[in-house]
Amino acid sequence: MWIGVGKGKGGAGCTTSSLELAYAATRRKRDGRRRRVAVIDLDPQGNATDVLEPESRRIGIKDALAPDQPLPLREVLVPTVWDGVLLAPADRFLANRAADMDPRAVATLRRARLSGEIEDLVDDVVIDLPRDIGKLAAAGLLGIEHLFIAARATVWGAQGAEEMRYTAEKISEKGNPELSIAGYIVTAYEGTQDSSRVLGEIENCFGGLLIKPPVPRCPEITEALESYHTPCREFGGDAESVADLYQAIYDRLLDLVEGEK
């Protein structure tokens, strides 16, 4: 499965969702072994790259997206400290890559998926999409099959989710008919009167695509990922209940996809 996690506004929990879905995938089996995952960090901030601590940062996703003499995607995937997870790292030069990406470079990840270029390496691909809806986001959206949109239960968060939905629908119409929205993940939910109101508005807008329950605000998530570079489940405490939510989200999608085969 090729999965993307996108947002329209910063601070939506997109990277957390990407990493936790990737970890959830490794806890499931395929052909008697644990599933293997590639995380593609398309966010120039590189937060997912920092958390996963790749074996090397000498090459990265920018090299696969280069307009001239690009590297194959499989050659930019490197091992990480998370068992079963490979990474196409982001670095400070990724933001500049969008300026020189031509249409062929933008379609790199779509070609990789359709050709099965890395099927012998991984079972799932999770793409952490950037906030800015430009060429990097388009490259990710062209590559994936299933999009989760992460949003906070705020007015700006809901607006960002709608912007990402609009962009995804246009990409689906123009170049990636396999793309569908798998669900909306509301993150850092506090249950206040205002956030409850916005959550209701999001449900009215997106209907059954809203994933329930929302992911609660949990300071231990930040501690686990940012400070200890550890999946929430392995960190334990309240973070483990958050891991349960992401496991359920991944399992539901996996069951749906396998049921369609």
pLDDT per residue as tens, the chain (261 positions): 999 999 866 666 899 999 999 999 999 999 999 999 999 999 999 999 999 999 999 999 999 999 999 999 999 999 999 999 999 999 888 989 988 999 999 999 999 999 999 999 999 999 999 988 899 999 999 999 999 999 888 888 888 888 999 999 999 998 999 999 999 999 988 888 888 998 898 888 888 899 999 999 999 999 999 999 999 999 999 999 999 999 999 999 999 998 876
Two tokens at 28? 């499931």
Q: What is the per-residue pLDDT for 177?
A: 97
Residue closest to 60 by CA, chosen among 83, 86, 36: 86
Query: CA triplet 81, 84, 88: central angle to 5 degrees?
Result: 70
What is the distance between the alpha carbons of residues 148 and 183, in angstroms, rounded to a whole number?
Answer: 5
Q: Is the dihedral of CA 187, 10, 126, 77 positive or negative?
A: negative
Q: Where are the domains of the chain?
A: 2-260
CA distances 166 to 154, 163, 181, 207, Å, are: 18, 5, 11, 16
Fold of 2-260: Rossmann fold (3.40.50)
What is the distance between the alpha carbons of residues 8 and 184, in angstroms, rounded to a whole number?
Answer: 12
- Neighbour-count burial for 73-110, b at 16+ CB within 10 Å, e otherwise: bbebbbebebebbbbbbbbeebbebbeebeeebbbbbb
What is the distance between the alpha carbons of residues 256 and 261, in angstroms, rounded to a whole number?
Answer: 9
Angle between helices 135-143 and 155-174 (to 10 degrees): 60
Instruction: Output the pTM of the full model.
Output: 0.95
What is the distance between the alpha carbons of residues 18 and 4, in angstroms, rounded to a whole number?
Answer: 8
Two tokens at 155? 């007015």
Residue closest to 248 by CA, chosen among 13, 6, 40, 17: 17
**Phi, psi torsion values for 102, nearest 5 degrees:** -95, 175
Q: Is the peptide bond before 54 cis (omega within 30 degrees of 0)?
A: no
